[in-house]
Amino acid sequence: MKAILAIDQGTTSTRALIVDEATQVRATAQVELPQYYPQSGWVEHDAEIIWRDTLATARAAMAEAQALGLDLAAIGITNQRETFLLWDRETGQPLHNAIVWQDRRGAELCRAMAAEGLEPEITGRTGLLLDSYFSATKLAWLLDARPDARALAEQGRIAFGTIDSFLLWRLTGGAVHATDPTNASRTLLFDIRTMQWCPDLCRMFNIPMPILPEVRSNDAFLGTSDPSLFGRALPITGMAGDQQAALIGQRCLRAGDAKITYGTGGFALMNTGDTICRSAHRLLTTVGFQAEGRTCYALEGAIFVAGAAVQWLRDSLGIIAHAGESEALARALPDNGGVYLVPAFVGLGSPHWDADARGLITGLSFGATSAHLVRAALEAVAYQSRELVDTMARDSGLAAPMMRVDGGMTANGWLCQFLADMLGLPVRRPAGIETTALGAAFLAGVGAGLWSGLAALPGESQTDARFAPMMTEEERARLFGQWTDAVDRARSTARPAK
């Protein structure tokens, strides 16, 4: 039986999956990725560790596949979007740690450009907002922070890439410098109408175009792996940013289909078909995927901190020893005790886009316990999700009949039920919650001819569980109203006192 190797390089871990031609996951390998915080608001990764872990997990998964008698046909790649680095074209060595999507060091430049009135044009071309979440302002910072970087860039001696592009470069032994539309569209340098890098945007951000990768469709042939890496050359035939890969992995192929992926952050995407749907409420318009000769767009809302809040409870506060404890602690409480956590550790994402907001815990009393903090962190995920889903419905005029969810946090059944209650929608959790890698495998399989098209994929993913809303509308409104009050307080703390 033929199979695909899917490489899934995420914010907090690197994993590899083997997906067979019946679309079943047959082998997996995963390692955690360390985070670096050089100063407040800065977040970095070591690209060499990313590469080391990519090779290690891929080789481990491939060894399992070989033991099962599977014949690998191709490689698919998915990655944490917006995280980027610069590397030397001759040596392949990074010039600096990778700058992570959560990093806020571009916020000052964003404010300056907004004050010049540039945001409307940027949004019109890219579908994005002028925010440090995206790559361009941080790339401009990096080019200026290293004395030789800008000169090297203008000479074409260094390469820019999001993590997909860097992995592709390394996998092909430096033969291919390319990316795909879903990753390119997250840089603030790509025009989603023309589907090309935009010279005007590059001038606006002072980015030399010679450093940019070629953009190829998500199901394109991207090159072959260096034979020395895996014992033989394998074609690389699919690539997508993690959230768009999850959209495909959840088979959200029609307008109105929607999913939310919960990992470090939370990301809601709604397929809008071939329509570029402009948001009136500061959601993002982005490329859903470009495959089989067509381009599909999506509306997106981003929660900056979802699973990262649970990780904070574990690593910084020591309240829990592992994330799995959070479900039992939340279930043990009859209610939230009036405790709310606004996890604005790196600002607030959609629909607020407030880079200055900071985390806040409100409603504490002597009756509050560590369990209340854990429950508040989980509830915050659902409240933020409701903000996104409500806004998507207003902007698109499309109503999702259900919400498909995936990602590591959805192993928590209490969270899935509370999410259904807060959205007022059925929530569907697939049997395999890591659909991001599955989407990369689907694209690579279509690109390699393993399947005739995305709509023809076999084995509609089995549903592990469905969660129906059980909360009254009155209770839903009460809880969400108190959350809204807490968000207002978190945002006001960032404003100077009068």
Q: Give me the CATH number covering residue 186.
A: 3.30.420.40
Say if 53 falls within a structural domain.
yes
- Return the closest-CA partner of residue 329 out of 362, 374, 361: 374
CA distance 213 to 180: 9
CB atoms within 10 A of CB 398: 18
Say if 491 falls within a structural domain.
no
For 487, the token pair is 């968000």
Say if 217 falls within a structural domain.
yes
From first to last of the 498 residues of the chain, give the pLDDT tens digit.
Answer: 999 999 999 998 999 999 999 888 999 999 999 999 999 889 999 999 999 999 999 999 999 999 999 999 999 999 999 999 999 999 999 999 999 988 989 999 999 999 999 999 999 999 999 989 899 999 999 999 988 899 899 888 999 999 999 999 999 999 999 999 999 999 999 999 999 999 999 999 999 999 999 999 999 999 999 999 999 999 999 999 999 999 999 899 988 899 998 988 898 999 999 989 888 888 999 999 999 999 999 999 989 899 999 999 999 999 999 998 999 999 999 999 999 999 999 888 888 888 788 999 999 999 999 999 999 999 999 999 999 999 998 898 888 888 999 888 999 999 999 999 999 999 999 877 678 899 999 999 999 999 999 988 887 656 678 999 999 999 999 999 999 999 999 998 756 555
CA distance 454 to 443: 8
Say if 165 falls within a structural domain.
yes
Phi, psi (deg, nearest 5) at residue 47: -65, -30
Domain that holds residue 6: 2-241
Please say whether the dihedral angle defined by the alpha carbons of residues 311, 313, 318 and 324, taken in this order, is positive or negative: negative
Whether residue 6 contacts residue 58, with contact meaning beta carbons closer than 8 Å, is answered with: no
Say if 95 falls within a structural domain.
yes
Instruction: Give the DSSP H/E element, type plus range, for residue 215.
Output: strand 214-215
CA distance 194 to 79: 24
For the chain, what percentages of helix, strand and coil (3-state, to nearest 5) are there?
Answer: 35, 25, 40
**Tell me, what DSSP letter sits at residue 396?**
H
Say if 339 falls within a structural domain.
no
Collapse the DSSP code of 98 into the 3-class scheme (helix H, G, I; strand E, B; otherwise coil) and give the result.
strand
CA distance 489 to 320: 27
Say if 471 falls within a structural domain.
no
Say if 475 falls within a structural domain.
no
Instruction: Give the DSSP H/E element, type plus range, for residue 60.
Output: helix 47-67
The number of folded domains in the chain is 1
What residues have CB less than 8 Å from 81, skipping those under 6 apart? 101, 162, 182, 183, 186, 241, 242, 243
Instruction: Give the DSSP H/E element, type plus range, for residue 479.
Output: helix 473-492
Phi, psi (deg, nearest 5) at residue 221: -75, 120
Q: Is the peptide bond before 351 cis (omega within 30 degrees of 0)?
A: yes
Whether residue 425 contacts residue 405, with contact meaning beta carbons closer than 8 Å, is answered with: no
